[in-house]
Chain A
Amino acid sequence: MNIFRLFGDLSHLAAIAILLLKIWKTRSCAGVSGKTQLLFAVCFITRYIDLFLHFVSLYNTEKVMKLIYISASVFTCYLIFFKFKATYDGNHDSMRAEFLIVPAAGLACLINTKFDAIEILWTFSIYLEAVAILPQLFLISKTGEAETITSHYLFAQGSYRALYILNWIYRYHYESHVDTIAIVAGVVQTILYCDFFYLYITKVVKGQKIVLPA
Chain B
Amino acid sequence: PEPVPDHDEL
Which A residues have a C-beta under 8 Å from some C-beta of B?
5, 9, 12, 62, 65-66, 69, 113-114, 116, 118-119, 122, 164, 167, 179, 182
Contacts and interface: CB of A to CB of B under 8 A. Distances in A.
13 contacts: A5-B9, A9-B10, A62-B10, A65-B10, A69-B10, A113-B5, A114-B5, A116-B4, A122-B7, A164-B9, A167-B9, A179-B7, A182-B7
Q: Does more than half of chain B's interface fall in helix, strand or loop, or is it mixed?
A: loop
Contacts of B7: 122, 179, 182
B10 to A, nearest CB: 6
- Interface size class, chain B: under 10
Contacts of B9: 5, 164, 167, 179, 182
Nearest to A118: B4
